[in-house]
């Protein structure tokens, strides 16, 4: 028996970060470890991140939670992707959809066949307008009997509310690619269903995430944790005591005078980083020179129809605005750069662009994009905002909490907290943050907008070498290579690069191995199968009402 094993974990801070950590650790260890969570009702939580990515479903699976029950408790809806409006140029719109796009064939990713077709000037038309080869087709997407499993990834772009993507209506440009995305077709029709596979074809089904009320989600996880081995302590921390011999955290002292000791401390105290920065002084690395936005305003508004199964991110003059549909309301926010717009102007833009009546005054938030230099220091691990901040452009905030806990479980220490473990944890954490950072920079940097000082500034932003390499490879060959276990798939990079106007100069020569007729049939069959699948789906609002309607809409 290891006498040095961790017996006591102290989590500082509640909210989504604290209670997700508590729930996952309690599920993993059961009664082996005493888990205590300290939070104060007098200290508010940020709680503005209401959109997620598909990995959130792994949390529910690990905890044994029913997806519909989670959505009922959090006023949740389903999310098929993110619509980006006005990012490349004013009037442009594309969707970063989850799930697959098209089908790989042989050794090649789907985009090379699509690029070949587009180069011929006969790229497939979008949204239900199939070519003659596809009319009446009932077969799976197959060329001479050779099909392959749909690859991981996602892409999306589409005509939305009369606004076409960068390629333009009726053109053979990048917009046509999204005719091969099931998630995009369903999202633009405001339809949703849980589909594992499209009929008997090799086309995979929908891939979804959630829109949810983050405050209610934290409360739901707290209820789950309360029934197990997590003990909540109400109080405000006034002191952090370190061991003299090694600088490890020994205990925290509450305003009441109570002392709470632990072997491992989890800092979920938000931006202030009470333990990781206040006590251990690990330092913070700013990425504001790449990601200039430094403020946000959040406000709820009355629910309006339709209940869209996707998040919206619309570029504004000095930042961007989010819109997230929940069952009882819509979540809205304006992320902006204070060097180019005042707080009052930002609030006016936010309120002027709401679809429903505001239900509260806009709530301000200040931040600096970046990360702690070490998320794990001595016997303390920082999660959530205490570990770093990435603006919610690609809905990664809750995922970074989830992945941080997952890494901790994989590298779980004993009381000595071997530096080799923390070094590996910090290496993996930095890798994940930096690749997400690159993906966010891409949205700002790949733009043709020059209509405001902010967008002219963005056009001059330098790029990390890792991002420059990815863009150069795609421009020259249409190739996308993921680095290790980075979060975003090849399909995610594909859709944003095309949506932002980065175009490859050629396709892979292996895409020329099939005949023109085979290529046309291959593409047409995929469109036909996707169209039929979407026609069978119910309206998103109807699906929510039938499967996961919240007990109250108040």
Measure Cα distances from 493 to 1, 82, 153, 474 in Å: 48, 13, 9, 10
- pLDDT at 68 exceeding the cut of 70: yes
Do the domain assignments include residue 542? Answer: no
Same domain as 459, residue 525 = yes
Same domain as 155, residue 198 = yes
Measure Cα distances from 552 to 75, 203, 382 in Å: 9, 38, 35
What local confidence, expressed as pLDDT, does residue 307 receive? 97
Do the domain assignments include residue 431? Answer: no
Q: What is the pLDDT of residues 329-338, one digit of tens each?
A: 999 999 999 9
Same domain as 245, residue 184 = no
Q: What CATH number is given to the structural domain containing 393?
A: 3.50.50.60
The whole-chain average pLDDT of the chain stands at: 89
Q: Is 275 helix (H, G, I), strand (E, B) or coil?
A: coil
Within its chain, how far is the Cα of 397 from the centroid?
A: 7
What local confidence, expressed as pLDDT, does residue 162 receive? 31
Do the domain assignments include residue 61? Answer: no
Same domain as 380, residue 301 = no
Same domain as 234, residue 173 = no
What local confidence, expressed as pLDDT, does residue 120 receive? 85
- Residue 2, both tokens: 């290891």
Same domain as 131, residue 203 = yes
Q: What is the pLDDT of residues 204-257, one digit of tens each?
A: 999 999 999 999 999 999 999 877 789 999 999 999 999 999 999 999 999 999
Q: Spot the catalytic one: 72, 79, 207, 470.
A: 79
- pLDDT at 84 exceeding the cut of 90: yes
26 vs 18: CA distance, rounded Å: 12
DSSP assignment letter at 538: P
Residue with tokens 């789907």: 110
Q: Residue 468 is inside which H or E element, if any?
A: helix 465-477
Do the domain assignments include residue 421? Answer: no
Q: What is the pLDDT of residues 146-180, one digit of tens each?
A: 333 333 333 333 333 333 333 333 333 333 899 99
The answer to whether 79 is a known catalytic residue is yes
Same domain as 395, residue 250 = yes
- pLDDT at 299 exceeding the cut of 70: yes
What is the b/e burial string over 132-142, where b = at least 16 CB atoms within 10 angstroms of the residue's CB? ebbeebeebbb
Q: Once rounded to an integer, what is the mean pLDDT over residues 449-470?
A: 97
Q: Which of 415, 450, 478 is the last residue of a domain?
A: 415
Sheet containing strand 319-325, strands side by side: 93-97, 81-85, 311-316, 319-325, 330-336, 295-301, 363-366
Same domain as 176, residue 139 = yes
- Residue 339, both tokens: 């060097």
What local confidence, expressed as pLDDT, does residue 46 receive? 54
Q: What is the pLDDT of residues 37-62, one digit of tens each?
A: 999 987 665 555 589 999 999 999 99
Are the C-beta atoms of 116 and 108 separated by less than 8 Å? no
- pLDDT at 134 exceeding the cut of 60: no
Helix pair 15-29, 397-410: axis angle to 10 deg: 30
Same domain as 448, residue 514 = yes
Do the domain assignments include residue 56? Answer: no
Same domain as 114, residue 88 = yes
Q: How many CA atoms lie within 13 A of 101 on its CB side?
A: 33
Do the domain assignments include residue 51? Answer: no
What local confidence, expressed as pLDDT, does residue 3 receive? 82
Q: Once rounded to an integer, what is the mean pLDDT over residues 74-85?
A: 98
Do the domain assignments include residue 133? Answer: yes
Q: Once rounded to an integer, what is the mean pLDDT over residues 390-412?
A: 97
> What confidence tier does 133 reach under pLDDT thresholds 50, 70, 90?
very low
Domain count across the chain: 3
Range of the domain at 304: 295-366
* Residue 169 exposed, middle or buried by CB count within 10 Å (0-12, 13-18, 19+): exposed
What local confidence, expressed as pLDDT, does residue 348 receive? 98
Cα pseudo-dihedral 14, 293, 426, 408, rounded to 10: 30
Are the C-beta atoms of 524 and 124 separated by less than 8 Å? yes
Q: Once rounded to an integer, what is the mean pLDDT over residues 377-384?
A: 98
Same domain as 455, residue 516 = yes
Q: Once rounded to an integer, what is the mean pLDDT over residues 368-392?
A: 97
Give the contacts of 245 (CB within 8 A, at least 6 positions apart).
Answer: none
Same domain as 179, residue 120 = yes
Give the contacts of 540 (CB within 8 A, at least 6 positions apart).
Answer: 77, 78, 190, 191, 192, 306, 307, 308, 309
45 vs 214: CA distance, rounded Å: 10
Q: What is the pLDDT of residues 91-128, one digit of tens each?
A: 999 999 999 999 999 999 999 999 999 998 744 443 33
- pLDDT at 142 exceeding the cut of 80: no
CB atoms within 10 A of CB 4: 12
Do the domain assignments include residue 503? Answer: yes
């Amino acid at each position: 028996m290891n006498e040095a094993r961790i017996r006591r974990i102290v989590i500082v801070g509640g909210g989504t970060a604290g209670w997700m950590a508590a729930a996952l650790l309690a599920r993993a260890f059961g009664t082996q470890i005493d888990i205590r969570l300290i939070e104060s009702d007098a200290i508010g939580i940020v709680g503005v991140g209401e959109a997620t990515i598909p990995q959130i479903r792994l949390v529910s699976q690990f905890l044994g939670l029913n997806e519909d029950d989670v959505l009922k408790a959090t006023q949740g809806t389903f999310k098929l992707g993110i619509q980006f409006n006005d990012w490349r140029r004013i009037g442009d719109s594309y969707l970063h959809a989850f799930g697959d796009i098209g089908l790989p064939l042989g050794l090649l990713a789907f985009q090379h066949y699509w690029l070949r077709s587009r180069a011929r000037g006969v790229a497939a038309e979008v949204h239900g307008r199939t070519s003659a080869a596809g009319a009446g087709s009932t077969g799976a997407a197959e060329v001479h009997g050779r099909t392959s499993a749909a690859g991981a990834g996602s892409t999306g772009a589409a005509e939305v509310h009369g606004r076409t993507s960068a390629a333009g209506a009726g053109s053979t440009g990048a917009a046509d690619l999204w005719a091969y995305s099931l998630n995009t077709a369903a999202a633009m029709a405001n339809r949703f269903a849980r589909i594992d596979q499209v009929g008997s074809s090799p086309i995979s089904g929908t891939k979804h995430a959630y829109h949810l009320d983050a405050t209610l989600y934290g409360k739901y996880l707290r209820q789950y944790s309360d029934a197990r081995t997590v003990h909540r302590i109400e109080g405000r921390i006034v002191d952090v005591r370190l061991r003299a011999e090694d600088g490890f955290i020994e205990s925290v002292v509450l305003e009441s005078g109570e002392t709470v000791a632990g072997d491992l401390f989890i800092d979920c105290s938000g931006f202030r980083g009470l333990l990781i920065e206040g006590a251990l002084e690990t330092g913070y690395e700013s990425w504001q020179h790449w990601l200039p936005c430094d403020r946000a305003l959040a406000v709820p508004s009355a629910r309006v129809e339709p209940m869209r199964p996707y998040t919206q991110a619309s570029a504004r003059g000095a930042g961007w605005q989010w819109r997230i549909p929940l069952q009882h309301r819509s979540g809205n926010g304006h992320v902006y750069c204070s060097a180019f717009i005042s707080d009052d102007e930002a609030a006016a833009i936010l309120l002027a662009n709401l679809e429903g009546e505001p239900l509260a005054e806009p709530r301000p938030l200040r931040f600096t994009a970046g990360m702690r230099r070490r998320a794990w220091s001595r016997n303390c691990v920082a999660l959530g905002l205490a570990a770093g901040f990435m603006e919610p452009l690609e809905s990664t905030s809750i995922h970074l909490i989830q992945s941080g806990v997952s890494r901790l479980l994989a590298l779980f220490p004993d009381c000595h907290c071997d530096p080799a473990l923390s070094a590996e944890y910090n290496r993996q954490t930095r890798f994940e943050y930096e690749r997400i950072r690159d993906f966010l920079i891409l949205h700002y940097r790949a733009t043709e907008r020059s209509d405001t000082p902010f967008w002219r500034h963005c056009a001059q932003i330098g790029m990390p070498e890792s991002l420059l390499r990815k863009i150069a490879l795609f421009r020259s060959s249409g190739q996308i290579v993921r680095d290790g276990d980075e979060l975003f798939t090849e399909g995610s990079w594909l859709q944003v690069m095309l949506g932002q106007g980065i175009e490859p100069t050629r396709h892979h020569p292996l895409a020329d191995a099939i005949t023109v007729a085979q290529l046309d049939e291959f593409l047409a069959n995929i469109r036909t199968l996707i169209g039929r699948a979407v026609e069978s789906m119910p309206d998103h609002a109807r699906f929510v009402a039938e499967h996961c309607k919240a007990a109250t809409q108040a």
